[in-house]
């Protein structure tokens, strides 16, 4: 599979995430779109990792580990995302308790 | 403590071992398991029946004498005695030629017991001077409509000993000897 | 078209479609569900790339934990009605156009990238297996791995600080 | 080793196996309902269903028929697609777990080795976790889509309970994985074959009693069984998350629960009780056709699983339901630390042993 | 070591002053320390030939090739002397002015003095910049705290102006630093810079540096802070500002601009001169219409400084000589004017010319002294300013670098006439004629004020009649500066179109 | 490495101390003592005494630059603790947790300053960000705090997404995360450039450089003031160090490609930060914008990227942290954050006012304070590049603008009459301020004291 396909797929997902962040007003959905962006990155990293692996094999090294760092990075992204979600949702819930809304357009108390 | 059966609950704090709850749980598990193997108390009802006590009060039945005549004279004592006011009746005079049907000159032309109201107290039986009504050992009637539970005389009358002695005997049951 | 290619296209279209639905759904719960579908199709891609470990971790972490939390919060807040009035249509259109432009720019830029000719290895390769990744993780990457525990500790403290009602 | 190494026979074989296992799960689930009632009755000194067929054996069919022909009600205010999706997901996730379980030794049909495992992936346990973690969705979506406060509450309860106990479950297994050094289910089972007493002493439960104990409790919680049946606490939440459901959709939920029970029984047997290993005998030395051996092993696995199903039911009729806070305290403050301790101790022992 | 003392005495005295409790002690301490500084300055100025005592060098920021390097050359000597003379006079002249928190006031005054000393002595660009700012900050505080009712805004304007200027200067200095062959802030390296940068860069740098100095002086479009600030600042601070601090600007031109960037100075001299001339005319015309004494003096100061600026850019040795001597003269004279203004304001509670009159009848001593100083200010012969201005006009007229020299001479001369108009007009209105209500009970000035004004008058006549010793102090400098441009003909065509 | 591990351990200790110790002063004492310990450990690290020998596989490198910055950061936090930790009590009930979060953030800062792998950079930035989201929202009942937290969180996560995309693209181009192996050719590919731009954007975001600054004022304003003091100073500077390391080591060879971009960002940051700060009515918000403005100055170091820049950035970070912490420590004590609240402070609290004036002068970059030397180094570095002199001139003009708003406080304190809010100021607080001010002046005259520690 040519790597370009994966790049375009990831970029498309990434951009859909960005559009979501820009257009939606519900904090939770914005957050979800951010997760979508993370996932697009993950997919891209895995694709690259496999690409580099293949390149290394084609270059002649047999039992190579080239490319595994990309997947490890993905693992770390997932780890971080999990932590971030726990905190983020706690914040959103805290906000909701006080305001009874998660609409980011209500976030204007600081604009004066 | 009136009944002497009350037991003081021990409120002392749980020991560490008890606090684990596990022993308690396991004990409980084995208690339930022991029941698994116990004899089952279930009686397969329609096939098997429990033996009733002699004084069991079932559905009322209107009695006949040995000759198959109705004993009821529509005196109304049973209706008066009934705490649930479940009994209604209408008396009628015996016409000539009906002696084989009714024992006395007066008889109940209509006799109804609303079984939805009856509480099976047996006062009607007690009140009846003619031994015309008594509580049988039949129970668990079933019907599709409420109307069906207003038992007419036809429903209540015992089978005729002349025409169907077997059914009569069955209906009389253990009471036969007693009365 | 080989079965791999069919799968690739199927999963890609599924991923893109459900990602679009995430953004366009009015109901947040539907958004969550579409997002889960997206994650599944991405997991499918991982399997296609023989990154088994990541595929499963993706399902466990994202679909199994993160999205449940999202769903949980949305349900708790009872956001089932769409609470976004269509006031700022222009902002939405602007956002859409901005995103589209970004997409165009990136695609246009990366179309001629230097690695265009390279090929991704699908279906085979050992690196995505847990044995390999585990060894890497606990030898080369053991320091970051331990460091990420700090992240979790802080997230934990944070969840307590923020989340606990007082 | 590659997941997508496919040929025609392979597909056929797997299709058959999948069909078989789904059927088996369904049948087991059906009779589990019967068994549940029977066991309940016996524990309560009754005899339970006995009218439909001999000993009431046709009772599940009668129940099923009833569910099928009941009127299908979809509440007006519910979200229809999700309302249907809920039970579907519950069912699917329940069935998916069985894909990585080695049901028995391979069969030999027409000189072809047919593995009785749908997918022998090297991350089997992770796969199980993945699928189990998805099980929440059935409950959550169903409960939410009903648009009923009780259902929603139950769904939220269910979700938080399952998420919480999944953690302890995973942690309890890590110690086991240290022993086996593999996440592949077939390897784990192989590990428990052979040894003294016909392989009995190599069962993991003897090395990981605490791990098993935690896993068992968590399995109870994951299946929403008493004492962890808060999502469907009748007297608090009417009927829990499937309150609005009727007909076969309700049936799906109930089925899913029993399938879950069965599968978790199978998983426990596989992980801790030697899988298809027959204890006390060394079946490998028997001089019979391997297919027979496979069938025997399969029976053994079923027996073990049924035993666990029985234990589940037994517990249900013994232990009262937890209060919600107790449930959370047990999960977070007792089981998780316990599992961690178990993990650390195991690690230390292994470290010392290896030295 | 003497040079260090000149900075150190006011610096330490200023710091100590903050801790003094009573006003009187602070005042006396300030006077004492300023006198001490004066003594040191006189020793330094008279110690001809013994240059080693007048220089000091210590390592400071080795990494940057910047050192604590100070040296007293002719230009520095005269200005240090001015600085040292000015402060005792100021303290004497305002002896009776009351200040809240006097300790702080005098402390800040002395710090300002220290900063200005540093500016005049620094031989290292970074050090120069340091002192440049050090002089500014205390002045800012002085004006803001003890000034008139609009002091805060006005002083702030002043501060921002000067600060922008000095920051631009910093950029310029840094740029030069980067292009010095030995990466050094030393003035010698700076003087060598013109061989290492292109004409275009010189132009840039010229304006960066010039703006800073122009704001300080101030030159026409950059002057708007000045009248307001002079008006609002407490008068003793105004004396410092106009008497000494504006000289920092001219000094900057002489030491840090023209020798460093001769080509650009030569190229842009006309532009700058025109600006200065326009400023002079403009200031003089406004001064005629002024009713406020302070503003009047302030505008007259703009006119005088403008003349100096024109002269500087006419690059003529005689003119330079005049500028240098005139810096001293102007400082002394204008302090005298301010003292009188201060006295008037303190006594009568107003500075409006229209509300005053006939003071000479009641306070003859003040009137006489003031008239002398005012006449000196308009450069009557026999007064010090005549010497300076005469030389300057000669310089402008003979300038070789500009073709507008006649124009400049004429226009500047016109300003002198205008100065005579407004000064004499002011004297007539304020001191002569009939007394008005306010001045009916005027009393004459006291001893301290007489002393201060007396010293000034003595200086006026001394320089006006026998100015040779003062020329002797600075004679070589003017030639050096002039030559720095005129001898660098080879770089000139680079810019001149 | 010493400081990193100790800081993590201390964080955990503080976490547990919330359970074990009920006295707030005890927790505070532990935290301060811990910081002191960290400082000593870090200095020992600089002297070559390493407590731990851990093979990071080349993912981290504790060179003197990083260690010196860590010392500055730790010292600043120490001062911050001494000055302001008492005021954390007002925020909420999780006193020791706040300390532990700050220790964790310090871990993140140490990671960000010493990374050699993009993975560590990513982890470090997240370890900084996540506790910060929490600290921002620590005042749970305060809607402004909530809002700030949510805003910070959403935008922070978004920028992390951009950063990850950048890293992914760079990985695609180079097959490595190791910063020193990233650029090997002068002629980079499209992937590399795109990735670098995304990284540039996200790092600008984290350091609140325009046009990615818009979250900063709101967040800094909304967050509890104690924590604003922390995140506007040490954290921000820490990320800057990461920024400069990233662009030095990874993209140093691509300098021609990004320099003009950074220059534009710098100019925009300076402009927006300074001009907007002028119009603020609240000192807290003014400080928020001023932090953007100061970020603009620090960006000059990124723009210049030479040895002067790195040296200068260290000095700048010290200058900026010390002064801003000092100002905030006084601001926290006030109930009203408007400029008028400072009216007449000089009469009531002369020492506090004097030190505050020195801090403000330092921020404005007046000579004799370290703020001047810091700005001086920045300008010097920018001029040393020999290009884009307009940027430098623009920067100094903006510095002059900054004087306007800094001096508004000074004016209020010294030249205006008014009744300042009552403040509880202990003598030790005052003396700490005096020491801090002394330090600022000392470093302003002899910046070599700090920089002599610095050689590559």
Whether C87 maps to a domain, the answer reads no
What is the SS3 string spanning chain B? CCCCCCCCCCCCCCCHHHHCCHHHHHHHHHHHHHHHCCCCCCCCCCCCCCCCCCCCCCCEEECECCCCCECCCCCCHHHHHCCCCCEEEEEEECCCCCCCCECCCEEEEEEEEECCCCCCCCHHHHHCCCCCEEECCCCCCCCCCCHHHEECHHHHECCCCCCCHHHHHHHHCCHHHHC
Q: What is the pLDDT of residue D1?
A: 43
CA distance B25 to chain D (A): 7
Confidence of residue D137 (pLDDT cuts 50, 70, 90): confident
Residue C136 and residue C106 share a domain = no
Whether A111 maps to a domain, the answer reads no
Q: Which residue has the tokens 């104690």?
A: F226
Q: Which of D95-99, E189-193, E285-289, F110-114 has the lowest mean pLDDT?
A: E189-193
Read off the CATH number of the domain in which A13 is found: 1.10.287.3510
Mean pLDDT of F238-243: 89
What gap in Å lies between CA D184 and CA D178, rounded to an integer? 13
Q: How many domains does chain C have?
A: 2
Dihedral class, residue D274 (left if φ above 0, else alpha if ψ from -120 to 50, else beta): left
Q: What is the pLDDT of residues B15-52, one digit of tens each?
A: 777 777 888 888 888 888 888 888 888 888 878 878 87
Confidence of residue E315 (pLDDT cuts 50, 70, 90): confident
The answer to whether residue B177 scores a pLDDT higher than 50 is: no
Structure tokens at E126: 């970074």
Say yes or no for a CB contact (<8 Å) between C66 and A81. yes
The answer to whether residue F357 scores a pLDDT higher than 50 is: yes
What are the extents of the domains in chain D? 63-354
Q: What is the pLDDT of residues A40-77, one digit of tens each?
A: 999 999 988 888 888 888 887 776 778 888 889 999 99
Q: What is the pLDDT of residues C135-152, one digit of tens each?
A: 888 888 888 898 889 899
Domain around F32: 2-451
Strand (E) or helix (H) holding E347: helix E317-348
How much of chain E exceeds pLDDT 90, in percent? Answer: 0
The answer to whether residue E48 scores a pLDDT higher than 70 is: no
Whether B98 maps to a domain, the answer reads yes
Domain around B166: 60-178
The answer to whether residue C81 scores a pLDDT higher than 70 is: no
Mean pLDDT of F85-106: 87
Q: What is the pLDDT of residue E43?
A: 84
Q: What is the pLDDT of residue A43?
A: 92
Residue C147 and residue C120 share a domain = no
Residue C61 and residue C50 share a domain = yes
Say yes or no for a CB contact (<8 Å) between E156 and F361. no
Residues of chain D positioned with their CB less than 8 A from the CB of C33: 82, 85, 141
Mean pLDDT of F22-33: 87
Q: What is the pLDDT of residue E495?
A: 47
The answer to whether residue C18 scores a pLDDT higher than 90 is: yes
Structure tokens at D133: 């973690």
CB E383 within 8 A of CB E376: yes
* b/e burial code for range B93-102 (CB count within 10 A of at least 16 → b): ebeeeeeeeb
Residues of chain F positioned with their CB less than 8 A from the CB of C108: none
Residues of chain F positioned with their CB less than 8 A from the CB of C106: 194
The ipTM assigned to this model is 0.84
Q: State the burial class of residue E358 (Cβ atoms within 10 Å of its Cβ: 0-12, 13-18, 19+).
A: buried
CB E357 within 8 A of CB E436: yes
CB E377 within 8 A of CB E301: no
State chain A's maximal CA–CA distance in angstroms: 64
* Contact: chain D with chain A (3+ CB pairs below 8 Å): no
Confidence of residue F109 (pLDDT cuts 50, 70, 90): very high
Say yes or no for a CB contact (<8 Å) between F149 and A91. yes
- Residues facing residue D286 across a β-bridge: none
Three-class secondary structure of residue C94 per DSSP:
helix
CA distance C75 to chain F (A): 19
Q: What angle do CA E262, E267, E269 make, to 5 degrees?
A: 85
Residues with Cβ within 8 Å of residue D148, at least 6 apart in sequence: D75, D243, D244
Read off the CATH number of the domain in which B80 is found: 3.30.70.3270
Q: Which of A62-71, E413-422, F125-134 has the lowest mean pLDDT?
A: A62-71
Averaged pLDDT of chain E: 83
Give pairs for E18-23: CB < 8 Å, separation 24+: E18/E103, E18/E104, E18/E107, E19/E103, E20/E103, E21/E103, E23/E98, E23/E99, E23/E102, E23/E103
Q: Which of A44-53, B11-20, C33-42, D151-160 has the lowest mean pLDDT?
A: B11-20
Handedness of CA E412, E417, E423, E425 (dihedral sign): negative
What gap in Å lies between CA E374 and CA F118, rounded to an integer? 75
Mean pLDDT of E77-89: 86
E208 touches chain F (CB under 8 A): yes
CB E99 within 8 A of CB E454: no
Structure tokens at F144: 């402004």
Whether B66 maps to a domain, the answer reads yes
CA distance D209 to chain C (A): 26
Nearest to E370, CA basis, from E429, E415, E282: E429
CB pairs under 8 A between A and F: 119
Domain around C76: 3-82+92-126
Mean pLDDT of D321-347: 89
What is the SS3 string spanning chain F? CHHHHHHHHHHHHHHHHHHHCCCHHHHHHHHHHHHHHHHHHHHHHHCCCCCCCCCCCCCECCCHHHHHHHHHHHHHHHHHHHHHHHHHHHCCCCHHHHHHHHHHHHHHHHHHHHECEHHHHHHHHHHHHHHHHHHHCCCCCCHHHHHHHHHHHHHHHHHHHHHHHHHHHHHHHHCCCEHHHCCCCCCCCHHHHHHHHHHHHHHHHHCCCCCCCCHHHHHHHHCCHHHHHHHHHHHHHHHHHHHHHHHHHHCHHHHHHHHHHHHHHHHHHHHHHHHHHHCCCEHHHHHHHHHHHHHHHHHHHHHHCCHHHHHHHHHHHHHHHHHHHHHHHHHHCCCCCEHHHHCCHHHHCHHHHHHHHHHHHHHHCCCCCHHHHHHHHHHHHHHHCCCCHHHHHHHHHHHHHHHHHHHHHHHHHHHCCCCCCCCCCCHHHHHHHHHHHHHHHHHHHCCHHHHCCCCC
- Residues facing residue D114 across a β-bridge: D107
Interface probe with A: pick from F140, F151, F164, F194, most Cβ of A within 10 Å: F164
Mean pLDDT of C44-61: 87
Three-class secondary structure of residue E369 per DSSP:
helix
What gap in Å lies between CA B145 and CA B143, rounded to an integer? 6
The answer to whether residue D350 scores a pLDDT higher than 70 is: yes
Q: What is the pLDDT of residue C14?
A: 92
Dihedral class, residue E432 (left if φ above 0, else alpha if ψ from -120 to 50, else beta): beta
Q: What is the pLDDT of residue D50?
A: 84
Dihedral class, residue C78 (left if φ above 0, else alpha if ψ from -120 to 50, else beta): left
DSSP string, E224-243: THHHHHHHHS-HHHHHIIII
Read off the CATH number of the domain in which C31 is found: 1.20.120.1200
* Rg from Cα positions in chain D: 21
Whether F259 maps to a domain, the answer reads yes
The answer to whether residue E233 scores a pLDDT higher than 60 is: yes
Strand (E) or helix (H) holding E70: strand E66-71
Residues of chain A positioned with their CB less than 8 A from the CB of C111: 4
> Cα dist. F311→C62, F302, F317, F455 in Å?
44, 12, 10, 9
> Cα dist. E8→E4, E39, E251 in Å?
6, 14, 21
The answer to whether residue D235 scores a pLDDT higher than 80 is: no
C157 touches chain F (CB under 8 A): yes
Q: Which of B92-96, B148-152, E26-30, F452-456 has the lowest mean pLDDT?
A: F452-456
Residue C141 and residue C111 share a domain = no
Q: What angle do CA C73, C75, C79 make, to 5 degrees?
A: 100
Nearest to A9, CA basis, from C103, D139, C159: C103
How much of chain E exceeds pLDDT 70, in percent? Answer: 96
* Residues 130-169 (E) with a CB less than 8 A from some CB of F: 130, 133-134, 137, 141, 144-145, 151-152, 156, 159-160, 163-164, 167-168
Q: What is the pLDDT of residues F264-280, one digit of tens each?
A: 899 999 998 899 888 88
Q: Which of A66-70, B170-174, D40-44 has the lowest mean pLDDT?
A: B170-174
What gap in Å lies between CA B150 and CA E139, rounded to an integer? 117
Q: Which of D295-299, E163-167, E361-365, F211-215 has the lowest mean pLDDT?
A: E361-365
Which phi and psi angles does E61 have, rounded to 5°? -120, 90
What gap in Å lies between CA A105 and CA D58, rounded to an integer? 61
Other beta carbons within 10 Å of E42: 14
* b/e burial code for range D245-267 (CB count within 10 A of at least 16 → b): bebbbbbbbbbbbbbbbbbbbbb
Q: What is the pLDDT of residues D172-182, one digit of tens each?
A: 888 888 888 88
Q: How many domains does chain F have?
A: 1
Structure tokens at F78: 């120490």
Residue C97 and residue C71 share a domain = yes
E65 touches chain F (CB under 8 A): no
CB pairs under 8 A between C and D: 86
Say yes or no for a CB contact (<8 Å) between F448 and E204. no
B38 touches chain D (CB under 8 A): yes
Residue C96 and residue C24 share a domain = yes
Q: What is the pLDDT of residue E161?
A: 85
Mean pLDDT of D86-112: 84
Say yes or no for a CB contact (<8 Å) between F119 and C144. yes
Which phi and psi angles does F150 have, rounded to 5°? -65, -45
Whether C8 maps to a domain, the answer reads yes
Q: What is the pLDDT of residue A106?
A: 67
Residue in A34, A44, A49 nearest the CB of F161: A34
The answer to whether residue E282 scores a pLDDT higher than 70 is: yes
The answer to whether residue E309 scores a pLDDT higher than 90 is: no
Whether F456 maps to a domain, the answer reads no
Averaged pLDDT of chain D: 84
The answer to whether residue E496 scores a pLDDT higher than 80 is: no
């Amino acid at each position: 599979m040519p790597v370009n396909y994966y790049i375009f797929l990831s970029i498309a997902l990434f951009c859909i995430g960005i559009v979501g962040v820009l257009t939606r007003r519900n904090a939770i959905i914005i957050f979800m779109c951010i997760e979508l962006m993370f996932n697009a990155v993950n997919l891209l990293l895995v694709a690259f990792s496999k690409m580099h692996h293949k390149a290394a094999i084609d270059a002649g090294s047999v039992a190579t580990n080239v490319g595994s760092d990309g997947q490890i990075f993905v693992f770390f992204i997932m780890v971080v995302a999990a932590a971030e979600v726990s905190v983020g949702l706690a914040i959103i819930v805290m906000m909701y308790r006080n305001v009874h809304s998660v609409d980011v357009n209500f976030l204007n108390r600081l604009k004066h | 403590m009136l009944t002497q059966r009350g037991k003081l609950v021990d409120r002392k704090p749980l020991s560490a071992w008890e606090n684990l709850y596990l022993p308690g749980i396991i004990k409980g598990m084995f208690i339930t398991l022991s029941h698994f193997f116990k004899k089952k108390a279930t009686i397969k009802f329609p096939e098997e029946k429990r033996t009733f006590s002699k004084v069991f009060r079932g559905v009322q039945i209107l009695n006949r004498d040995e000759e198959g005549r109705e004993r009821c004279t529509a005196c109304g004592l049973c209706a008066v005695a009934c705490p649930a006011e479940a009994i209604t009746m209408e008396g009628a005079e015996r016409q000539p030629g009906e002696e084989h049907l009714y024992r006395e000159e007066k008889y109940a032309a209509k006799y109804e017991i609303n079984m939805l109201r009856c509480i099976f107290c047996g006062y009607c039986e007690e009140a009846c001077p003619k031994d015309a009504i008594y509580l049988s050992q039949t129970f668990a009637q079933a019907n599709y409509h409420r109307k069906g539970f207003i038992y007419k005389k036809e429903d209540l009358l015992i089978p005729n000993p002349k025409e169907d002695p077997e059914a009569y005997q069955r209906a009389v049951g253990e009471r036969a000897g007693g009365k | 078209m080989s079965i791999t290619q069919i799968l690739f296209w199927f999963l890609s279209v599924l991923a893109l479609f459900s990602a679009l639905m995430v953004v366009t759904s009015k109901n947040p719960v539907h958004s969550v569900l579409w997002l889960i579908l997206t994650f599944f199709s991405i997991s499918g891609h991982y399997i296609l790339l023989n990154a088994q470990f990541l595929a499963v971790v993706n399902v466990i972490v994202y679909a199994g934990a993160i999205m449940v939390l999202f769903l949980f919060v949305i349900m708790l807040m009872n956001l089932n009605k769409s609470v976004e009035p269509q006031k700022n249509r222009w902002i939405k259109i602007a956002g859409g156009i901005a995103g589209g432009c970004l997409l165009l720019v990136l695609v246009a830029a990366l179309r001629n990238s230097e690695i265009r000719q390279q090929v991704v290895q699908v279906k085979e390769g050992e690196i995505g297996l847990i044995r390999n990744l585990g060894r890497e993780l606990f030898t080369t990457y053991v320091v970051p791995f331990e460091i990420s525990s700090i992240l979790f500790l802080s997230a934990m403290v944070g969840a307590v600080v923020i989340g606990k009602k007082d | 080793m590659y997941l997508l190494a496919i040929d025609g026979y392979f597909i056929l074989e797997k299709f058959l196996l999948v069909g078989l296992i789904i059927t088996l799960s369904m049948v087991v689930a059906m009779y589990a309902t019967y068994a549940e009632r029977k066991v309940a009755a016996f524990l309560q000194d009754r005899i339970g269903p006995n009218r439909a067929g001999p000993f009431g054996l046709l009772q599940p069919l009668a129940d099923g028929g009833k569910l099928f022909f009941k009127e299908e009600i979809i509440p007006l205010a519910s979200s229809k697609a999700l309302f249907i999706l809920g039970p579907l997901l519950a069912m699917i996730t329940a069935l998916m777990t069985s894909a990585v379980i080695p049901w028995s030794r391979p069969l030999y049909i027409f000189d072809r080795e047919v593995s009785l495992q749908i997918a022998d992936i090297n991350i089997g346990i992770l796969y199980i976790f993945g699928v189990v973690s998805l099980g929440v969705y059935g409950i959550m979506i169903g409960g939410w889509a009903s648009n009923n406060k009780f259902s929603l509450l139950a769904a939220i309860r269910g979700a938080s309970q399952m998420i919480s106990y999944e953690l302890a479950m995973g942690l309890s297994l890590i110690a086991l994985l240290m022993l086996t050094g593999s996440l592949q289910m077939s390897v784990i089972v192989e590990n428990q074959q052979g040894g003294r007493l016909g392989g009995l002493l190599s069962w993991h439960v003897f090395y990981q009693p605490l791990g098993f104990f935690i896993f068992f409790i968590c399995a109870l919680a994951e299946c929403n069984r008493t004492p962890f049946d808060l999502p469907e606490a009748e007297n608090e939440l009417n009927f829990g998350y499937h309150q609005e459901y009727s007909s076969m959709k309700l049936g799906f939920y109930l089925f899913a629960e029993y399938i879950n029970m069965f599968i978790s029984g199978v998983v426990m047997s596989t992980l801790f009780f030697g899988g298809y290993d027959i204890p006390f005998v060394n079946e490998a030395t028997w001089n019979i056709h391997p297919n027979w051996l496979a069938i025997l092993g399969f029976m053994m696995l079923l027996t073990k699983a049924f035993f666990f199903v029985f234990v589940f039911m037994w517990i249900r009729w013994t232990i009262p339901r937890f209060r919600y806070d107790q449930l959370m305290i047990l999960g977070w403050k007792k089981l998780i630390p316990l599992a961690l301790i178990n993990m650390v101790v195991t690690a230390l022992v292994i470290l010392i042993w290896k030295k | 070591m003497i040079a260090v003392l000149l900075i150190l005495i006011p610096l330490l005295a200023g710091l100590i002053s903050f801790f003094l409790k009573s006003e009187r002690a602070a005042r006396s301490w300030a006077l004492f320390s300023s006198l001490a500084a004066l003594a040191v300055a006189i020793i330094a100025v008279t110690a001809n030939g013994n240059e080693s005592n007048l220089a000091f060098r210590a390592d400071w920021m080795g990494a940057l090739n910047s050192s604590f390097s100070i040296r007293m050359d002719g230009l520095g000597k005269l200005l240090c002397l001015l600085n040292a003379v000015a402060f005792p006079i100021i303290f004497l002249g305002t002896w009776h002015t009351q200040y809240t928190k006097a300790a702080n006031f005098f402390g800040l005054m002395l710090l300002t003095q220290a900063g200005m000393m540093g500016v005049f002595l620094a031989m290292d660009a970074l050090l120069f910049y340091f002192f440049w700012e050090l002089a500014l900050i205390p002045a800012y505080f002085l004006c803001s705290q003890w000034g008139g009712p609009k002091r805060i805004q006005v002083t702030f304007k002043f501060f921002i102006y000067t600060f922008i200027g000095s920051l631009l200067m910093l950029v310029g200095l840094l740029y030069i630093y980067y292009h010095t062959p030995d990466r050094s802030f030393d003035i010698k390296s700076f003087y060598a810079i013109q061989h290492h940068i292109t004409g275009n860069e010189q132009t840039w740098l010229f304006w960066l540096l010039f703006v800073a100095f122009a704001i300080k002086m101030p030159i026409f479009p950059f002057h708007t802070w000045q009248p307001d600030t002079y008006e609002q600042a407490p008068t003793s601070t105004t004396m410092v500002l106009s008497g000494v601090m504006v000289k920092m600007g001219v000094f900057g031109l002489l030491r840090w601009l023209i020798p460093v960037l001769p080509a650009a100075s030569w190229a842009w001299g006309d532009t700058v001169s025109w600006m200065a001339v326009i400023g002079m005319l403009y200031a003089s015309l406004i001064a005629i219409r002024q009713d406020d004494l302070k503003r009047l003096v302030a505008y007259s100061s703009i006119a005088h400084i403008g003349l100096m600026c024109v002269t500087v850019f006419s690059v003529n040795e005689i003119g330079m000589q005049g500028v240098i001597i005139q810096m001293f003269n102007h400082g002394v004279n204008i302090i005298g004017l301010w003292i009188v203004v201060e006295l008037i304001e303190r006594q009568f509670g107003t500075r409006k010319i229209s509300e005053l009159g006939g003071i000479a009848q009641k306070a003859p001593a003040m009137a006489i002294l003031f008239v002398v100083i005012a006449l000196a200010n308009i450069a009557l012969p026999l007064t010090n300013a005549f010497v300076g201005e005469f030389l300057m006009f000669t310089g402008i007229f003979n300038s070789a670098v500009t073709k507008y020299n006649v124009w400049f001479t004429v226009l500047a001369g016109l300003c002198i006439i205008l100065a005579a108009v407004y000064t004499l007009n002011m004297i007539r209105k304020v001191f002569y004629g009939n007394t008005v209500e306010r001045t009916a009970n005027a009393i004459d000035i006291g001893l301290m004020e007489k002393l201060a004004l007396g010293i000034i008058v003595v200086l006026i006549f001394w320089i006006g009649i026998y100015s040779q010793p003062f020329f002797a102090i600075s004679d070589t400098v003017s030639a050096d500066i002039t030559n720095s441009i005129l001898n660098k003909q080879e770089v000139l065509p680079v810019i001149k179109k | 490495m010493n400081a990193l591990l100790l800081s993590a351990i201390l964080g955990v200790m503080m976490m547990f101390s919330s359970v074990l110790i009920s006295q707030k002063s005890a927790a505070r004492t532990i935290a301060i003592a811990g910081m002191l310990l960290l400082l000593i450990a870090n200095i020992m690290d600089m002297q070559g005494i390493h407590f731990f020998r851990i093979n990071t596989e080349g993912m981290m490198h504790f060179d003197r630059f990083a260690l010196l910055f860590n010392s500055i950061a730790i010292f600043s936090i120490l001062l911050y603790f001494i000055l302001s930790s008492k005021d954390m009590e007002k925020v909420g009930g999780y006193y020791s947790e706040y300390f532990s979060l700050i220790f964790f953030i310090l871990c993140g800062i140490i990671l960000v300053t010493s990374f050699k792998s993009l993975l560590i950079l990513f982890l470090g930035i997240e370890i900084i960000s996540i506790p910060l989201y929490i600290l921002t929202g620590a005042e749970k009942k305060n809607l402004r705090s909530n809002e700030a937290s949510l805003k910070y969180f959403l935008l922070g996560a978004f920028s992390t997404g951009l950063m990850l995309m950048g890293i992914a693209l760079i990985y695609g181009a180079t097959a490595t995360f190791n910063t020193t192996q990233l650029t090997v050719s002068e002629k980079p590919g499209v992937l590399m450039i795109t990735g670098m731009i995304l990284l540039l954007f996200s790092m600008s975001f984290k350091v609140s450089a325009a046009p990615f600054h818009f979250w900063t004022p709101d967040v800094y304003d909304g967050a509890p003031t104690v924590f604003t003091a922390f995140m506007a100073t040490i954290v921000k500077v820490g990320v800057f160090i990461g920024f400069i390391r990233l662009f030095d080591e990874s993209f140093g060879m691509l300098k021609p490609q990004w320099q003009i971009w950074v220059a534009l960002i710098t100019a925009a940051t300076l402009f927006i930060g300074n001009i907007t700060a002028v119009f603020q009515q609240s000192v807290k918000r003014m400080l928020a914008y001023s932090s953007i403005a100061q970020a603009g100055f620090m960006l000059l170091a990124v723009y210049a990227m030479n040895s002067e820049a790195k040296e200068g950035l260290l000095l700048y970070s010290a200058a900026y942290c010390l002064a801003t912490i000092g100002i905030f420590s006084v601001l926290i004590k006030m109930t009203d954050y408007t400029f008028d609240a400072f009216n007449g402070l000089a009469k009531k609290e002369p020492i506090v006012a004097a030190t505050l004036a020195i801090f403000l002068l330092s921020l404005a970059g007046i000579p004799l304070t370290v703020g001047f030397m810091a700005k001086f180094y920045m300008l010097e570095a920018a001029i040393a590049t020999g290009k884009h002199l307009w940027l430098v001139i623009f920067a100094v003009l903006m510095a002059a603008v900054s004087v306007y708003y800094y001096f508004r406080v000074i004016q209020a304190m010294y030249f205006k009459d008014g009744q300042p809010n009552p403040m509880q100021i202990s003598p030790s607080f005052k003396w700490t301020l005096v020491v801090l001010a002394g330090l600022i002046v000392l470093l302003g005259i002899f910046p070599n004291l700090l920089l002599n520690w610095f050689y590559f």
